[in-house]
Amino acid sequence: MIVIMRADATKEEILKLKGKIEMEDCRVSVVQGEKHCILGLVGDTTKIDPSKIEANEFVERVTKVQQPYKLANKLFHPHDTVIKVNDKTIGGDKLAVIAGPCSVESEEQIVEIAKTVKESGAGFLRGGAFKPRTSPYSFQGLKQQGLELLKIARQETGLPIVTEIMSADVIDEFERDVDIIQVGARNMQNFELLKQLGKTTKPILLKRGLSATIEELIMSAEYIMSEGNENVILCERGIRTFETYTRNTLDLSAIPAIKRLSHLPVIVDPSHAAGMWWMVEPLSKAAVAVGADGLIIEVHNDPENAKCDGQQSIKPERFDSLMKDLVVIANIGKKSV
Amino acid sequence: MIVIMRADATKEEILKLKGKIEMEDCRVSVVQGEKHCILGLVGDTTKIDPSKIEANEFVERVTKVQQPYKLANKLFHPHDTVIKVNDKTIGGDKLAVIAGPCSVESEEQIVEIAKTVKESGAGFLRGGAFKPRTSPYSFQGLKQQGLELLKIARQETGLPIVTEIMSADVIDEFERDVDIIQVGARNMQNFELLKQLGKTTKPILLKRGLSATIEELIMSAEYIMSEGNENVILCERGIRTFETYTRNTLDLSAIPAIKRLSHLPVIVDPSHAAGMWWMVEPLSKAAVAVGADGLIIEVHNDPENAKCDGQQSIKPERFDSLMKDLVVIANIGKKSV
Amino acid sequence: MIVIMRADATKEEILKLKGKIEMEDCRVSVVQGEKHCILGLVGDTTKIDPSKIEANEFVERVTKVQQPYKLANKLFHPHDTVIKVNDKTIGGDKLAVIAGPCSVESEEQIVEIAKTVKESGAGFLRGGAFKPRTSPYSFQGLKQQGLELLKIARQETGLPIVTEIMSADVIDEFERDVDIIQVGARNMQNFELLKQLGKTTKPILLKRGLSATIEELIMSAEYIMSEGNENVILCERGIRTFETYTRNTLDLSAIPAIKRLSHLPVIVDPSHAAGMWWMVEPLSKAAVAVGADGLIIEVHNDPENAKCDGQQSIKPERFDSLMKDLVVIANIGKKSV
Amino acid sequence: MIVIMRADATKEEILKLKGKIEMEDCRVSVVQGEKHCILGLVGDTTKIDPSKIEANEFVERVTKVQQPYKLANKLFHPHDTVIKVNDKTIGGDKLAVIAGPCSVESEEQIVEIAKTVKESGAGFLRGGAFKPRTSPYSFQGLKQQGLELLKIARQETGLPIVTEIMSADVIDEFERDVDIIQVGARNMQNFELLKQLGKTTKPILLKRGLSATIEELIMSAEYIMSEGNENVILCERGIRTFETYTRNTLDLSAIPAIKRLSHLPVIVDPSHAAGMWWMVEPLSKAAVAVGADGLIIEVHNDPENAKCDGQQSIKPERFDSLMKDLVVIANIGKKSV
């Protein structure tokens, strides 16, 4: 940690602050610049709260040197994490493709889509049972019944199932029934939920919040990991910017950034990012080209009658032809589907 | 709702979509422009899901005419809501000032600050017991013990207490012990929590999410109200933008905007917005000048040793002189403290 | 154009506004909804100024139906534009790769880099002579001398040269000496410069402004085209968002969006987007995968001693291996280098 | 300047970089942390180009200690600048109010509005002659003729005139005829124009770009000042964010921030910020309450027929009543109109 003092800080104030910091078991190096004095904090700075230092009126600002996460930090765990999900894996040299409808609507629908996407090469089935909706008057999902239908689709196809959890009170059912538990963008900093998920044994698919920085996303993974569950898959799904043509702006730079900062696998959701079905194919290819470990794509056999997000779902035949292109691009990055 | 068809939509496709929409009990007016055909949907469009219409490949885009909220909508409830909290009110011609430390640290601390801010004219006491922190390794609040200390401070001063809830499992304690239950920015779209709070009888202070639009903030209030609890106080606390000098960008335009769209009271949190103690005073004055119904301000007797957010807390003496200026500005807007 | 009236607009006010609009040679269809009345404007709405209508206090808001650009609009020019530059082309089934240093530093430097990038397959040479710098104290480029050195490099390699113009007073030299004239992000809405460039005969490479929407970028192309020069190449180079890990956020969704809205070719600048050399390769691959018509990449033989932007330049050997991967990805999109 | 080395930087690489930096007349202090080594650069770091250092692959990142501006820096010029304009001043203990129409339309219009706003207490007259418009098909202003009309209005009222310059080729006329030369948001980083304006003797009103940081705004002032003209007035006019209800988000935190960083006066444009006439009054009051040195407000006697931006202009009677409130709020901050 580096503390930059104000130009008008007196020697006395600087020494007072130095002494205070050293009482927390840190060593402090003082570098006197032309105008500003700089304090370099050496040692275990994890106990130091930067906001306390910034509360000192002679402090200009505080800069962190080290990333605030440990368990998710590539610095301490240089090997990329590969997560086992039943007989499949996410991370490493495999491209994981998760496909399925926005929400589970009926047994017929989910089983049919599951069979189709499996045939095209998808490795996992997605489908919403509990749906976070901006409006309380919108369809909120089939809930427990949706989970049951996902289980049927899994039985029929063998595909592991991925679905979103919205509150901690159903965590036992999710741990028992679901193969990958998804945390949505809106709950990325629902810290109580993250802590509870940290106590489960199932892989967690953690989506980046609409305005979360890369560091905050990794910190939310750290919340889960710090409770014992180290199987976290990160997911870039578009961030909120001033551009309104697309629903969100897919931040593909986040993929190489996360790969440099963390050992956790990271996948991309092109469907929610753009919010328009005709963008899903080009963005999926770009995501694989940039180095993502996988994709989560909305596929629906009848988008115009889908109960939610039909505008961003692609039809099975487009998904099928997309998969063929993805295989070629994945190969360039030494990945296979 | 207005549907703008693509320029290449055939007459047949337009009629097909028109027919489909009319099956949902809506009347459709067709306006044929030079290039684009427009469908105006008349009647109760609440059952219409725009994303289904947008899934039609001949649709360019869908534009809403009416705001998607009802209970919070000024159009249907033209009179401003005034919320009763014990013997005090929020909204109308009163300026509500909520003050206190970021987090409750000890009985001595919270009682002393409570007495001081009351003397300066604050009407409510704030203090965090459950603290949402970006890092799992940061101080997470005194939790239940913090609630107990807040109750002591209330007993000593008579000030109603405001504190943040982070998960639904403590909702009974909050409903029993707390006067105004706060929902933090990170939980603004924790819809399960909102629904549970909608079943309580206590006023809810709902903070705007870091990247929430004004409409989304009001929709989150609608979630609470749709479950029966109409006592919602909105709070602008800064949004995330590209500017990094301040922690967030306080969006004071949101105040007149919300006042035009909704009848709910709206207050401002200048402490979290800027993240710097020396900005709290000017931003507080601006918030009152722009027409806010109140303020929630962090005041700490010893910011450099505060357990959290010391850098954005002001000292009691500054709070005291600030209150004097606020009274004058409030008067211009026909409000009294 | 669609005008949504306020719920409290009287019939009289609506008719008054209708009459006023019809005086501008537009037909107005009135659709009366439950609460709001909607006016659909049919005919040539280009003369209508929406801000005048919005100044009416009974108007809620005005929504455009048609894009405000014509010459750049795919609706009126369905075939993609292919731009000839000497013996090369940009757009269509070719992937154009523009490479070279941030700034021209010496004859030796620019000629050497030009030869190397040509050998690796680049089709065009970039190099800054006039440099827009945030600080007046930074290196501002070799200016006219830089142009001369670029011409030497062109003579040595046959590569057409691309360089940035910063003010209209050097437009004659640029038209005479340069093959593609670049307008930087900061000047995207320097309308006087755009108009002057519209009178030249050279292709213009127009970079998206840091916070320009896709529509504004195309409108700036329209400025150039409306003066007679229809050879405009658009360039996505990252937008400004809240994320600070990367310098800007590369918005790859803009590529399919622009391809849908306009017939102009669009390329990507991965170097300025991320601002970090190790991101250039993955982002370049993603840009080609998403469907860009080309790339503009900073390549420097000695980045640590580059006079500007060394941190985002890649070395010739990395550029060479990158080109091999790009050929494969381009093929998927039916493009050749 | 502080250089944070990567954790995997060897001692040798660190010493090599240290040696290279010291060759530029800087002293380097090495602070060895647990994982990362930190280099503190002491001395005149203005010649050091951080991007060269960041090009070193063993460098994690570079952090500036001192602001990159000098002439505009409060650190070196602690007294607030007061700018003389004819017999009036901007900055210090005066609140400067600039009012007038978006664009000059006719002699009658500009003279009438000038007289009205003067009567209400405005000290300066604004009016656009050269208009930057997003569309090449929109009204572009009366240009030279507009300047002539402004001069007539000045003669009739004595109010100094403020109008926008869009290109350097009319700089002589502006220097001769205009009292304060305005640089619009879109040209904030038109560095060639800034340099030319730096050679004039007239005060420059520099508007913040839509996505410019506070530091970049001050750096653009530095461009003007470094050429000799130190009379720069900064202007906050709203920044681009994700919120679409308002046209831009007025960043009032920028006022106290700029006052801390620079000695230059700073004013607020509430009209362009919100883009809606009914927000101008509350935002004006907030701007004065937060400590701005002045306001620039669009006033039009007939907004519905204004040639541009009628939707954000207020009528003279509203301006008059607003001025009365502003006087009271200005007094709290020890300013008089």
A77 half-sphere exposure, CB direction, 13 A CA radius: 15
Pairing of strands C26-32, C83-85: unpaired
CB D212, CB D259: distance < 8 Å: no
Q: Within a domain: residue B74?
A: no
Identify whether residues A216 and A292 lie together within a single domain.
yes
Q: Which residues of chain A have pLDDT under 50?
A: none
Q: Nearest residue on chain B to C74, judged by CA atoms?
A: B7
Instruction: Give yes or no for residue C64 having a pLDDT over 80.
Output: yes
Chains contacting D (3+ CB pairs below 8 angstroms): A, B, C
Identify whether residues C175 and C101 lie together within a single domain.
yes
Q: Within a domain: residue D70?
A: no
Task: Encode pLDDT of C179-205 as tens digits.
Answer: 999 999 999 999 999 999 999 999 999
Identify whether residues C179 and C44 lie together within a single domain.
no
Q: Which of C282, C290, C328 sits opposite A282 (nearest CB)?
A: C290
Identify whether residues D91 and D59 lie together within a single domain.
no
From CA B192, how far away is CA A184, in angstroms rounded?
13
Return the H-helix or E-strand segment holding B294.
strand B294-298
- Write out chain D's pLDDT in tens, 337 residues: 999 999 999 999 999 999 999 988 889 999 998 889 999 998 878 778 888 899 898 999 999 888 999 999 999 999 999 999 999 999 999 999 999 999 999 999 999 999 999 999 999 999 999 999 989 998 899 999 999 999 999 999 999 999 999 999 999 999 999 999 999 999 999 999 999 999 999 999 999 999 999 999 999 999 999 999 999 999 999 999 999 999 999 999 999 999 999 999 999 999 999 899 999 999 999 999 999 999 999 999 998 888 888 899 999 999 999 999 999 999 999 999 8
Q: Within a domain: residue D76?
A: no
> What is the least distance, in Å, from the CA of C10 to any CA of chain B?
15
Within an 8 Å CB–CB cutoff, is residue A46 touching chain C? no
CB pair distance less than 8 Å for A216 and B56: no
Identify whether residues C309 and C241 lie together within a single domain.
yes
Q: Within a domain: residue C52?
A: yes
CB pair distance less than 8 Å for C249 and A244: no
Instruction: Give yes or no for residue C178 having a pLDDT over 80.
Output: yes
Chain B residues close to D274, C-beta within 8 Å: 253
Q: Within a domain: residue D308?
A: yes
pLDDT band, residue C305 (cuts 50/70/90): confident
pLDDT band, residue B307 (cuts 50/70/90): confident
Q: Within a domain: residue A74?
A: no
Instruction: Give yes or no for residue B102 having a pLDDT over 80.
Output: yes
From CA D164, how far away is CA A253, in angstroms rounded?
38
Q: Within a domain: residue B78?
A: no
Task: Encode pLDDT of B217-228 as tens digits.
Answer: 999 999 999 999
CB pair distance less than 8 Å for D191 and C166: yes
pLDDT attached to residue B50: 87
pLDDT attached to residue B306: 87
Task: Encode pLDDT of B136-154 as tens digits.
Answer: 998 899 999 999 999 999 9
Identify whether residues C46 and C186 lie together within a single domain.
no
Give, rounded to a whole angstrom, the gap between the first and last alpha carbons of chain D: 42
pLDDT attached to residue D13: 94
Indicate which CATH number applies to the domain containing B19.
3.30.70.1140
Query: How crowded is residue A231: how many other Cβ atoms within 10 Å of its Cβ?
Result: 23
From CA A291, how far away is CA C285, in angstroms rounded?
9
Identify whether residues B93 and B24 lie together within a single domain.
no
Considering only CA atoms, which of B74, B112, B72, B2 is closest in space to residue B233? B72
A201 half-sphere exposure, CB direction, 13 A CA radius: 3
* Contact pairs from chain A to chain D, CB under 8 Å: 61
Which domain does A119 fall in, by range? 83-332
Distances (CA, A) of A222 to A81, A195, B136: 14, 10, 7
CB pair distance less than 8 Å for C33 and B65: yes
Indicate which CATH number applies to the domain containing A184.
3.20.20.70
> What is the least distance, in Å, from the CA of B3 to any CA of chain C?
10
Give me Rg for the CA atoms of chain B. 23
CB D21, CB D29: distance < 8 Å: no
pLDDT attached to residue A152: 98
Return the H-helix or E-strand segment holding A60.
strand A59-63
CB pair distance less than 8 Å for B245 and D288: no
What residue ranges in C33-142 does DSSP mark as E strands? 37-43, 59-63, 83-85, 88-90, 96-100, 124-126
Beta-bridge partner residues of A275? none
Chain B residues close to D95, C-beta within 8 Å: none
Within an 8 Å CB–CB cutoff, is residue C46 touching chain D? yes
pLDDT attached to residue D26: 87
Q: Which of A55, A219, A311 sits opposite B135 (nearest CB)?
A: A219
Q: Within a domain: residue C277?
A: yes
Identify whether residues B248 and B127 lie together within a single domain.
yes
Tokens of C39: 């006016």
CB pair distance less than 8 Å for C65 and B33: yes
From CA B137, how far away is CA A225, in angstroms rounded?
12
CB D308, CB D103: distance < 8 Å: yes
Identify whether residues C112 and C221 lie together within a single domain.
yes
Mean pLDDT of C45-49: 80
Q: Nearest residue on chain D to B246, judged by CA atoms?
A: D253
CB pair distance less than 8 Å for A310 and B51: yes
Domain count, chain A: 2
Identify whether residues D141 and D20 lie together within a single domain.
no
From CA A292, how far away is CA D277, in angstroms rounded?
47
Task: Encode pLDDT of B25-64 as tens digits.
Answer: 889 999 998 889 999 998 878 778 888 899 998 999 999 8
Residue C196: phi and psi, rounded to 5, are -65, -40
Instruction: Give yes or no for residue B87 having a pLDDT over 80.
Output: yes
CB pair distance less than 8 Å for B36 and C241: no
pLDDT attached to residue A50: 87
Task: Encode pLDDT of A231-268 as tens digits.
Answer: 999 999 999 999 999 999 999 999 999 999 999 999 99
Chains contacting C (3+ CB pairs below 8 angstroms): A, B, D
DSSP, collapsed to helix, strand or coil, labels residue B162 as strand
pLDDT attached to residue B304: 85
Identify whether residues B115 and B211 lie together within a single domain.
yes
pLDDT attached to residue C309: 83
CB B323, CB B121: distance < 8 Å: yes
Tokens of C270: 């991965």
Mean pLDDT of chain C: 95
Percent of chain B topping pLDDT 70? 100
pLDDT attached to residue C48: 85
CB pair distance less than 8 Å for A40 and D63: no
Identify whether residues D218 and D320 lie together within a single domain.
yes
* Contact pairs from chain A to chain B, CB under 8 Å: 130
Mean pLDDT of B97-103: 97
> What is the least distance, in Å, from the CA of C64 to any CA of chain D?
14
pLDDT attached to residue B44: 79
